[in-house]
């Protein structure tokens, strides 16, 4: 059964310094991302592209979306396998290659550290991350590989 889900966000450019886009260096890259019922997210271009380093950039937002989607998918898979997870962190890394005026991500590597109550063998852990990757909507939507370099900690 196919079901459609619709999502909306609003993005407002805040970078008009009085002359709009009269020149490449004449405008700011600041924006505000909002969605109904949520706190606004201050965004900008990456500092490399004349943005503000203290704001989220689109590349970081893509990494965050992949990391969070994998985490939520992994937690679901853990329940299915009877594995009790008590903590989960990730330090996601992405590689983007610039080509002329464009570019694209070529890979992302997630580095999840999963804390569980009972030992989990490496094979089951790899299977769980693979299954999570398969059901993660964001990972299924990108055209570059999403790698996993997981660690597991046991608290019991």
Tokens encoding 144: 């570059």
Helix (H) or strand (E) holding 132: helix 122-135
At 24 the pLDDT is: 86
At 99 the pLDDT is: 87
Contacts of residues 57-62 at CB distance under 8 Å and 24 or more positions apart, as own/partner, are 59/94, 59/96, 59/105, 62/94, 62/105
Which residue is listed with tokens 């689109």? Answer: 58
CATH for the 58-154 domain, from 2.130.10.10, 3.40.50.720, 3.30.300.20, 3.40.50.1110 = 3.30.300.20
Parse the chain into domains and list their residue ranges: 10-49, 58-154
Distance CA 141, CA 62 (A): 11
Looking at the DSSP bridge assignments, the partners of residue 12 are 32
What is the chain's pLDDT, residue by residue, as a tens digit (156 residues)? 778 888 888 788 898 898 888 888 888 899 889 889 999 999 998 898 888 899 999 999 999 999 999 999 999 999 999 999 999 999 999 999 998 888 899 999 999 999 999 999 999 999 999 999 999 999 999 999 999 999 999 997
Contact present, 153 and 113 (Cβ < 8 Å) = yes
Distance CA 35, CA 81 (A): 34
At 115 the pLDDT is: 94
At 44 the pLDDT is: 92
């Amino acid at each position: 059964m196919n079901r459609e889900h619709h999502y909306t966000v609003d993005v407002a450019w805040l970078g008009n310094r009085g002359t709009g886009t009269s020149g490449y260096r004449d405008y700011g890259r600041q924006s505000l991302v909002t969605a109904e019922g949520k706190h606004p997210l201050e965004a900008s271009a990456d500092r490399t592209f004349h943005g503000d380093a203290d704001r989220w950039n689109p590349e970081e937002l893509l990494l965050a979306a992949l990391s969070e989607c994998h985490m939520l998918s992994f937690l679901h898979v853990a329940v299915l396998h009877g594995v009790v997870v008590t903590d989960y962190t990730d330090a996601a890394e992405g590689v983007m290659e610039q080509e002329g005026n464009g570019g694209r991500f070529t890979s992302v590597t997630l580095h999840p550290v999963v804390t569980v109550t009972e030992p989990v063998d490496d094979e089951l852990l790899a299977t769980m991350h693979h299954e999570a990757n398969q059901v993660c909507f964001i990972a299924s939507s990108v055209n570059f590989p999403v790698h996993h370099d997981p660690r597991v900690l046991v608290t019991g």
